Amino acid sequence: MADEITEQDMANAIRALAMDAVQKANSGHPGMPMGMADVATVLFNRFLKFDPAEPGWADRDRFVLSAGHGSMLLYSLLHLTGYEAVTLDQLRNFRQLGSLTPGHPEYGHTPGVETTTGPLGQGLTTAVGMALGERLLNARFGDLVDHRTYVIAGDGCLMEGISHEAISLAGHLRLGKLIVLWDDNEITIDGGTDLSVSDNQGDRFAAQGWHVQRVDGHDPEAIAVAIELAQASEEPSLIACRTVIGYGAPNKQGTSATHGAPLGDAEIAAARETLGWPYPPFEIPQPIRKLWLKAGRKGARARAAWEKALGEAPAATRTAFEAALSGKLPAAFAEQMAAYKAELAAKAPRVATRKASQMALEVINGAIVETVGGSADLTGSNNTKTSQTLPVTADDFSGRYIYYGVREHGMAAVMNGLALHGGVIPYGGTFLVFTDYARPAIRLSALMGLRVIYVMTHDSIGLGEDGPTHQPVEHLAALRAIPNLAVYRPADAMETAECWEAALQSDSMPSVIALSRQDLTAYRTEVPTENLCARGAYELRAADGDAKVTLIASGSEVELVCEARDRLQQAGIPTRVVSMPSWEAFERQSDAYRRDTLRPDTLRIAVEAATMLGWERYVGDTGVTIGMTAFGASAPYKELYNHFGLTVEAIVEAAKSRLG
Ligand SMILES: Cc1ncc(C[n+]2csc(CCOP(=O)(O)OP(=O)(O)O)c2C)c(N)n1
Ligand SMILES: [Mg+2]
């Protein structure tokens, strides 16, 4: 048998595993793996540079299954090529609790899965970030970083709006080592794509600077030729692979019936007949298995050669490369931040926190060469650029600043790709209100536990005249609701430095740093002995006397509560102030610390220029929340604070009336 085995047989192994695993799980998506089995076989068998023995090899090609519902395609490939952890039993346990084979691929869960996919379009855009990461590191380390990024995307990925941002940015930056294999099967869940889309995708990609080819996705030689041409292209490549969804299932193929449901025993039996695959479920004949394992071993030599090259590289290069890939912050960073904070304590600058963020970044970018900044066309407002960060262009990837353009969603997903690629620490800015435009990718940063830092300025009605379209109200609450996402809202320059430091130190969590447009008084004027913001909340002002009231605020409203505290003290009501830049960090503190900070024995009043949803937990049943209950308005910001009742007087009055 060995001599006659073809890639068609190898592809049929994927088809069989996919239809059998979906049938056993009684849920899942057999159509896409069966349709793209030939394309994937050619890619993994002939082209992809990878080594199942070392899934983390830094110079491996990246493979992203953007059409994440086709997860059985990826799991079959990982199993067949020899990723040890992905056993046949794991395939048998497809979609079961605790298995390595969840419904959609999850990064950090299954070796060989490069990114979490399932929300259509995210994988494609994340892959743009990976391809960009490759170029950035290549500019720093030369041939040590020289790999490609391959994507399998479906009709759905290309319909999603984010695909426009992804394709446009990749074309603009001429990411020639990015190759997208489009599963052009003309089917989505509702039926034929003609129900909902008439785009000429080839023309669309070409118009955005891509190299475009069309092939029969069931013709291995045609696929191979197309991949070779794509590899040679200096532009990113789209290969439209015309396929039949559910290929091999004689009665259902070519229809949406194969998209997301088990084929059923009868159709599976018929498919076995059609494909010439007489073997029982989950059984792969040895000769076919051998060929697949051979495909999995072919990268070992390339990896050995790469490791040798790394070993022979100049010591300084090797050290820098390993330091970059480790993701650890350099020792000098803490010292330089300490010096900067001492300077802040002495100078007590009254600046907007967005400005303070830039001041901190000037130190950070000087100390950490891995940071790569950017903004979605608001560089001068977000203050994300510093003296060290020169622009990244299609002709020169040695810079550290990305002009993401007006593409918030794309920026966030690209930053995920940069973080996943490794070797860089991405941060990027827009207005806090537009986190809504980036939210699906922010959610994935959190789900994957990636160190991506979102610099979100203009964080409240405090931005003033631009009005309610630009004034976030519900955004802090919405972001705080995302698990594993640290949301920071610093109150002054010192807190901003501390929040940046905490964000950089959390290497398995993304952070949002919400920053003011308006200038804020410096309240932290002592040289800190610990990072108080990393505690989430802390006592900023003690009460004179036995505290009756605790005023809690974040960001710009700390100013209000500090003034209110002084008035209450003058009125004979001992009052303390708690600054609370991060709920998430606070929740991680000990019970004792939280109790001592919140002081439930006092009247607690929380103030924030945002919806107060959730603050009840910190003020208790008898406490008071003062915030926004409606959208903002267009006016100078001080007038807005008065108009919406966010005033020192309102806070003082609330305390007095409650204390009777
Ligand atoms: C953002 C998003 N919206 C909707 C879905 C639900 N969904 C999963 S697959 C799919 C259809 C995708 O069609 P296509 O990419 O052509 O996949 P095929 O049916 O060809 O496998 C949809 C709507 C999703 N996963 N993500
Ligand atoms: Mg489709």
Query: What are 17-29's pLDDT values in tens digits?
Result: 999 999 999 999 9
Segment holding 624, helix H or strand E: strand 624-628
**Which one, of 189, 118, 102, lies nearest residue 441 by Cα?**
118
- The number of the ligand nearest the C-alpha atom of 30 reads 1
Q: Take residue 552 and report the two structure tokens written for it.
A: 């809690």
> How remote is the CA of residue 159 from the centroid of ligand 2, in Å?
10
Residues with CB under 5 A from ligand 2 (ion): 154-155, 185, 187
Q: Is 262 left (phi over 0), alpha (psi -120 to 50) or beta?
A: beta
The C-alpha atoms of residue 128 and residue 541 are separated, in whole angstroms, by 47
* Ligand 1 atom with least separation from CA of 189: 11
Q: How far apart are CA 141 and CA 74, in angstroms?
A: 30
Residue 30: name the closest of 336, 192, 265, 230 by CA: 265
Does 69 contact ligand 1 (Cβ within 6 A)?
Answer: yes
Instruction: Determine the angle formed by the axes of helices 161-172 and 122-141, rounding to 10 degrees.
Output: 20
> Given the structure tokens 């695959």, which residue do they identify?
277
- The pLDDT assigned to 4 comes to 87
Distances (CA, A) of 157 to 236, 344, 407, 464: 17, 47, 17, 38
CB count within 10 Å of CB 387 equals 9
582/569 Cα distance (integer angstroms): 27
At 607-651, the pLDDT tens digits run: 999 999 999 999 999 999 999 999 999 999 999 999 999 999 999
Rounded distance, CA 145 to CA 370, Å? 15
* Tokens encoding 36: 């793209």
Rounded-to-integer distance, Cα 274 and Cα 176, Å: 39
Place of tokens 């974040």: 554
* Cα–Cα distance measured from residue 595 to residue 620, given in angstroms and rounded to the nearest whole number: 12
Return the ligand number nearest the Cα of 190.
Answer: 1
Q: Is 183 in the pocket of ligand 1 (CB under 6 A)?
A: yes
Ligand 1 contacts CB of residue 67 (under 6 A): yes
Beta strands in 316-370 (DSSP E): 351-352
* Nearest Cα to Cα of residue 417 among 457, 382, 372: 372
286 residue type, one letter? Q
Q: Which amino acid is at 618?
A: Y
**What tokens does 528 get?**
């800190």
Above 80 in pLDDT, residue 38? yes
Tell me which residue has tokens 């998430």.
584
| 32 within ligand 1 shell (Cβ under 6 A) | yes
Q: How sure is the predictor about 156, in pLDDT bands with cuts at 50, 70 and 90?
A: very high
Atom of ligand 1 nearest to the CA of 156: 15
Beta bridge partners of 216: 242
Catalytic residues, by residue number, are 408
Give the pLDDT confidence score for residue 660 in this predicted structure.
Answer: 84
Predicted pLDDT of residue 232: 98
Burial code of 5-34, b = ≥16 C-beta within 10 A, e = fewer? eebebbbbbbbbbbbbbbbbbeebbbbbbb
Maximum Cα interatomic distance, the chain, rounded to a whole number of Å: 94
Which of helix, strand or coil describes residue 48? coil
Cα distances (Å, whole numbers) of residue 605 to 103, 190, 568, 638: 45, 51, 13, 21
Q: Give the per-residue SS3 of 516-550.
A: CCCEECCCCCCCCCCCHHHHCCEEEECCCCCCCEE
Does pLDDT of 172 surpass 60? yes
pLDDT at 1 over 50: no
Tens-digit pLDDT profile for residues 341-364: 999 999 999 999 999 999 999 999
Q: Which of 220, 221, 159, 232 is nearest to 189 (CA)?
A: 159
120 alpha carbon to ligand 1 midpoint, in Å?
6
Question: How distant is the alpha carbon of residue 567 from its chain centre?
Answer: 45
| Ligand 1 neighbourhood includes 245 CB (under 6 angstroms) | yes
Closest CA to 123 of 156, 78, 167, 153: 153
pLDDT value at residue 92: 98
Mean pLDDT (the chain) is: 98
Which ligand has an atom closest to residue 156 CA? 1
Q: Residue 376's closest CA among 451, 458, 444? A: 458
- Residue 314 Cα to ligand 1 midpoint, Å, equals 48
Provide, rounded to the nearest whole percent, the portion of the chain with pLDDT above 90.
Answer: 99
- Per DSSP, the three-state class of 203 is helix
Q: Give the whole-angstrom CA distance, residue 352 versus residue 513.
A: 13
Asked if residue 2 has pLDDT above 60, the reply is no
Q: Which among 480, 412, 404, 473 is positioned nearest to 440, based on CA atoms? A: 412
Centre of ligand 1 to C-alpha 33, Å, is 13
Q: Ligand 1: which residue has its CA nearest to atom 23?
A: 189
3 state DSSP class of 395:
coil
* Smallest CA separation from ligand 1 atom 12, residue: 156
pLDDT value of position 588? 97
How do residues 508-563 score in pLDDT, each as one tens digit?
A: 999 999 999 999 999 999 999 999 999 999 999 999 999 999 999 999 999 999 99
pLDDT tens track for 447-461: 999 999 999 999 999
Band the pLDDT of 3: cuts 50, 70, 90.
low
For ligand 1, whether the C-beta of 154 sits within 6 Å is yes
Cα 120 to ligand 2 centre (Å): 11
**Beta strands, E only, 50-122:** 62-65
Residue nearest to atom 26 of ligand 1 (CA): 119
| Phi/psi of residue 191, nearest 5 degrees | 140, -145
**Degrees (nearest 5) of the Cα angle 370, 375, 378?**
150
Q: What is the pLDDT of residues 460-496, one digit of tens each?
A: 999 999 999 999 999 999 999 999 999 999 999 999 9
**What's the sign of the alpha-carbon dihedral 37, 43, 44, 46?**
positive
Between CA 555 and CA 161 the distance in angstroms is 34
**Of 512, 370, 536, residue with least CA distance to 446:** 512
What pTM value is reported for the model? 0.98
The ligand with the least distance to the CA atom of 247 is 1
Categorize the per-residue pLDDT at 130 as very low, low, confident or very high, splitting at 50, 70 and 90. very high
Cα 120 to Cα 166: distance, rounded to the nearest angstrom? 12
Instruction: Using most ligand atoms within 8 A of CB, pick from 19, 69, 159 the residue to mutate for ligand 1.
Output: 69
- Determine if ligand 1 sits within 6 Å of the CB of residue 220: no
